[in-house]
Amino acid sequence: MADTSFDVVVIGSGPGGYVTAIRAAQLGFKTAIVEKAYLGGICNNWGCIPTKALLRSAEIYHYMQHAKDYGLSADNVTFDIKAVIARSRGVVKRLSGGVEYLMNKNKISIIWGEATLDAPGKFTVKKTEAAAPKGALGAGSYTAKHIIVATGARPRVLPGLEPDKKLVWTYFEAMNPDKMPKSLLVVGSGAIGIEFASFYKTMGADVTVVEVLPQILPVEDAEIAGFARKQFEKQGIKIMSGAKVTKLDKKSDSVTVTIEDGKGATQQLTVDRVISAVGVVGNIEGFGLEKLGVKTERGCIVIDKYGKTNVPGIYAIGDVAGPPMLAHKAEHEGVICVEAIKGMNPHAMDKSLIPGCTYCHPQVASVGLTEAKAKEAGKDIRVGRFPFVANGKAIAQGEDQGMVKVIFDKKTGQLLGAHMVGAEVVEMIQGFVVAMNLETTEEELFHTIFPHPTISETMKEAVLDAYGRVLNT
């Protein structure tokens, strides 16, 4: 007889869900994970990973086109979009297999199908079309003492901008196009929109980005977002901020878009494809949350700092539990949730320590308060900056356009925020995340030795600059 009763069941196998299941199994819980479509969730299949594979192809293509700058020659550099996509999908396949391996290794039962909550402790799974991994449990009724909802999110749809899979894409189609568009309008300049704009521009498309707010990359520090914008515009990306799309006129293989600027003036633009990247909303509907009275707000489940909902025995983590909608936030939230269930008294989630990265060219990365937010919070601050043009490694790499900005509390010396734009910054930001997690002050950073030559030396120099001690400018 197959198992139908568990201590912990996680619904959804995205980075939040599968990591939560592994931690639950490590803690000795009899654990199962329910998945209706693809192991690894959006992140592995349609999000973080496949986009990074595409961006890597774009990066290499970019360097090949600029081979001369490095004393090399590469003539007639071309690409086959189908092969670029095939590589990205191959990476996805490898990682989905990895999640299956991890579930088996940790003796976590995979229940394949769509879960519906019947009551606290009880849920039903019904069959879906997606092919089940070997050995997975199937449709039926199950029980679990603790049910953790990790059902993720889906693209937000704006009225008048409804995706149709052909001319108006969401990230699903943008990641898997049938052919390379010659021109493209990206609506929304958050991380997802900007990554696609960067990919398609590098691959040769004519790209326009429309953002309703005055600033692109709206959650980033204004100075860093402004620096990134100049770089994108230098590459030829057209950016219209403080503007909105008011009308789409679809033809057989193109779309004429009406765009209104902040002052009421309109203009029309005809493009091959439109990507709607106006955010995501939590998957909260249709699987029993309403019936159980689980509290939701603005498209997400309301939780406390340990993932508990208002209904005993039901928890939520990841995108479905609210912003920031990032894989590493989902994972961490899940670990905290099961450790709290186990009674381990874990640290509560501190959202101010969640880094954010955008893998465009140049990259953008940040953690903590922006300058504006620090001022809004009434902090008396010191700001330090350091440009990549003064860094030996950045120049040697041919990547001298970038900067690091740090924000300290003037009174205490506490590092409040760090913001970066340029090559390798998505790898570098973690240095400041660790520093902030250890509640570091300027003193410890002055005494921290950074390897030479590295672009990370710009981090140390920005810290020194905040205190009038910068060395290399």
Ligand X SMILES: Cc1cc2nc3c(=O)[nH]c(=O)nc-3n(C[C@H](O)[C@H](O)[C@H](O)COP(=O)(O)OP(=O)(O)OC[C@H]3O[C@@H](n4cnc5c(N)ncnc54)[C@H](O)[C@@H]3O)c2cc1C
Q: Please, which residue, 38 or 467, has the CB nearer to ligand X?
A: 38
Give the residue among 50, 22, 37 at the shortest CA–CA distance from 283.
37
What residue type is 317 in one-letter code? I
Q: Which residue among the candidates 328, 347, 361, 452 is catalytic per the annotation?
A: 452
**Minimum CB distance to ligand X, residue 217 (Å):** 14
CB atoms within 10 A of CB 290: 12
What is the longest distance spanned by two Cα atoms in the chain? 71
Q: Please, which residue, 98 or 392, has the CB nearer to ligand X?
A: 98
**Minimum CB distance to ligand X, residue 334 (Å):** 8
Backbone φ and ψ for 106, nearest 5 degrees, come out as -95, 10
Q: Please, which residue, 36 or 460, has the CB nearer to ligand X?
A: 36
Q: Please, which residue, 140 or 242, has the CB nearer to ligand X?
A: 140
Binding residues for ligand X (CB under 6 A)? 11-17, 34-38, 41-43, 46-48, 51, 114-115, 150-153, 171, 192, 283, 287, 318-320, 325-328, 330
CB atoms within 10 A of CB 177: 18
**Minimum CB distance to ligand X, residue 49 (Å):** 8
Q: Please, which residue, 48 or 462, has the CB nearer to ligand X?
A: 48
235, exposed or middle or buried, with CB in 10 Å at 0-12, 13-18, 19+?
middle
Question: Kind and range of the H or E element at 226?
Answer: helix 222-235
Q: What is the per-residue DSSP string for 72-102?
A: ----S----HHHHHHHHHHHHHHHHHHHHHH
Q: Are 232 and 239 in contact (CB under 8 A)?
A: yes
The residue with its CB nearest to ligand X is 152
As a whole number of angstroms, the distance between CA 10 and CA 24 comes to 10
332 noted as active-site residue:
no
**Minimum CB distance to ligand X, residue 60 (Å):** 19
**Minimum CB distance to ligand X, residue 295 (Å):** 18
What residue type is 382 in one-letter code? R
Catalytic residue list: 452
